[in-house]
Structure 1
Amino acid sequence: MRFKPYPHKSGKIVRWLFPNLLWFKPSEKPTIYLTFDDGPIPEITENVLSILEKFDAKATFFCIGDNVKKNPHIFKKVIDAGHSVGNHTQNHLNGWATENEDYFDNINKCKNTILEEYSKLEMFEQVSLYRPPYGKLTPEQFQKISTEYQIVMWDVLTGDFDKFLSRKVCLQKSIECTESGSIITFHDSIKAAKNMLYTLPRYLEHFSEKGFIFEKL
């Protein structure tokens, strides 16, 4: 079954309608904010880290707690490389399809999983960034979560997860929709790997040549 159409660009209207969500981050310098959802995953996340290092790029990884628990050595590599991390629930739950109590509990499990790994690294960081899986939150969930987290959405959705989207179109759309201040979403997941690992280095090369820098949130 074909994915339903989705916008690659969030646009100013949606940012105006939901101003308390972080969609875009203006900067004096030409800056792009790279984000990756769903990891850490063996080989895939490690390939991402290698590509980012090549372009001196920093990023924010919105981690699934269960994947952190299964792959703590890769999580450590993300931290050691100087990237930031955020909460993406313990089990990639859809807020629209989950009871509030279960949803909040799952977010807390992810938070505790990340904090446990931080403690092993003798770090005492806070987990202050949250991205809802599928971008789906109810108003009640938003009110509760926003008291503890900055909820991060995106300005550019690459569509790397879409198996019907060609690699070249994924790259083209990602470049066309990006501007300085864009928060762009990739996925370091098995499903997205084919498009993402093709698009990411070419995307970074394109904007590096134009003088952009790549920062974490």
Structure 2
Amino acid sequence: MREIKEYSCAEVNLDYVLRQAVIQMHAIIRVFDKDGYLIRKYGVLDDDKDPVMRDTDFFRLLMGYGWQDCPHLYYEYDQVITAVIQMDLGWVMVIGPVSLVPVYKELNQKMIMVHHLDPTDRYRLSYCSREFFVCGLLVVFHALTGQELSVDDIWEKNFMNSEMKKRLEQNLVETTIMHQEKEMPRAPYNMERREMECITKGDKEGLRKVISEMDVGERGILAVD
């Protein structure tokens, strides 16, 4: 039997991890010092369109959680989530908010109103599945602290009891189903036919259009080549 040698990896490049996390989690990541001054922002969103930067009450709430040994999850409407990582190093990281269900008009309007955003700015709440968001959060937290948490750790430390967790999960499922039923019915076989026609003809733009009609935004962008 071959001897298994220990292996090690290169030192983590935190800046690289955070830039990739923005893509995976579909979320803006902000780093503040202990006095609330913005040190760095990952992702593109003007401050006047950013709920965290525009809504001072929301900002104070997120900054006031204090040091914790686990990311703190803040829920809005049981569907929108913002994560806060506050370290004893004197800075705070705020990730989100993002919707855990495909964004619908009423939810987007609620976010605009409650966070005092300008309706004419065309703010659009991002969507990321709960699994993608939490996995990205675990990677970021590990890169920052070296601690290895599980998805269960995140839920147990953020929910007072199993009933609250169950209620949130049920709400996500019901909301997703409700708004899927409101959408116009799609013809999957017709889309597959159109997709194959585009591939056969080498029509990249047509293929992108078909995929965009089917995709909910969790996967990457179609490659140029």
TM-score category, normalised to shorter length: under 0.3
Normalization by structure 1: what TM-score?
0.24
Query: Higher relative contact order at CA 8 Å, sep ≥6: structure 1 or structure 2?
Result: 1
Q: Quick check: which one's helix share is greater?
A: 2
Using the size of structure 2 for normalisation, the TM-score is 0.24
Structure number with bigger Rg = 2
